[in-house]
Amino acid sequence: MLMADAARPGRPPIPWWGTLLYPAALIALFLGCQGLAGLVGIGEGQRASLAAIPAVLALVVSLPLRLRRQWGEPHPWRSLGVVGPGPAALQALLRGLLKAAALLALVLVGLQSAGALTWPLQTSAAVLLNGLVLALGVGFAEELLFRGWLLGELGLQLGRQRALWLQAALFSLVHTRFNLPLLPLLGLLGGLMLLGLALGLQRRADGGLLWGAVGLHGGLVGGWFVLNQGLIALQPATPSWLTGPANPIGSVLGWLGLGLLLWARRRWWSV
C-alpha cells in the first residue's frame, strides 16, 4: 500500500487542531481571493474559478511540507498516492473514468425510463473543454485534499476504518446545501456520504494510488456538467427524489448506483 498506516517511528502524535486548521486556512484563502475578485469587478460566475487557482497552488505547495513535518514522510507524493509505478496511475485513472461513465449511464437510463428526459444533443468544443477542465481540476484538487491528505492523516490518528467513515462524513458535510428542505437535504447528505466511501474504497482497491478516485470523482462532475449543457434536458415536473436536489448524487438513482459500486468493492472494506 502507498498510503501510510502508522506514524513514522519517533514522530510525536499529530495534533488534532492542526488537522482542523490546515483545511480551514485553505478555505479562508479561497474565500478571500473570491472576495478580492468581487472588489475588482470580476463577474460572479468567474470568481470561484479564479479564486480556486491560488487555493489549489497553496494546497500543492504546502502538502509535501506538512507530510514531511507531521507524518515524518520522506516521500510525500508517493504517500499521497500521486506517484506510482509505471503505467499504474494512468490505468487507475481510466478505470475511475469508466466507473463514472457507468454511474451516469445508470442515472440516464432511470430518468429516461421515467419519462423525465429529452435529448437536444447539442454541445460545443468550449463545453467539452470546460467539462474536461472540471473533471481533472476538481477531481484532482478535491481527491488530493480528501482521499490523499485527510484520509491519510485521520488514519494516523484514528486508524484506517474510522478514518474511512469520518472522511466520508466530512466530505458530505462540506458539499451539502443546508438551505434545502429536510428530505432532499437528507438525500444529498446520504448520497455524498456514499460517494465519499466509494472514493475511499477506490483508493484502497488501487493499492493506495489516488488516480482511480480522481477519475471517478472528476468523471462524475465533468460528465454531468457536459450532459446538462445541451445534451439532455430534464422535464420541469420531475420530482427531486428522482433527479436529486442539486445533482443525481442525492437521488434514488444516485443511491442505487453508489450502493452497487460499494457492493462491488465489498472485499476492500476490511483491507
pLDDT computed for residue 22 by the predictor: 92
Asked whether 1 and 78 are in contact (CB, 8 A), the reply is no
pLDDT computed for residue 1 by the predictor: 47
pLDDT computed for residue 151 by the predictor: 97
Give how far Cα 180 sits from Cα of 177, 184, 186, 230, Å: 6, 6, 9, 26
Q: Which residues are paired to 118 by β-bridges? A: 233
**What are the pLDDT tens digits along the chain (271 aa)?**
445 444 455 566 788 888 889 999 999 998 899 889 888 888 776 777 788 889 999 999 999 999 999 999 999 999 999 998 879 999 999 999 999 999 999 999 999 999 999 999 999 999 999 999 999 999 999 999 999 999 999 999 999 999 999 999 999 999 998 889 999 999 999 999 999 999 999 999 999 999 999 999 999 999 999 999 999 999 988 898 999 988 899 999 999 999 999 999 999 998 7
pLDDT computed for residue 12 by the predictor: 63
pLDDT computed for residue 255 by the predictor: 97
* Ramachandran category for residue 191: left, alpha or beta (phi over 0 → left; psi -120 to 50 → alpha): alpha
pLDDT computed for residue 34 by the predictor: 85
Reading the block at residue 167, the C-alpha cell is 472522511
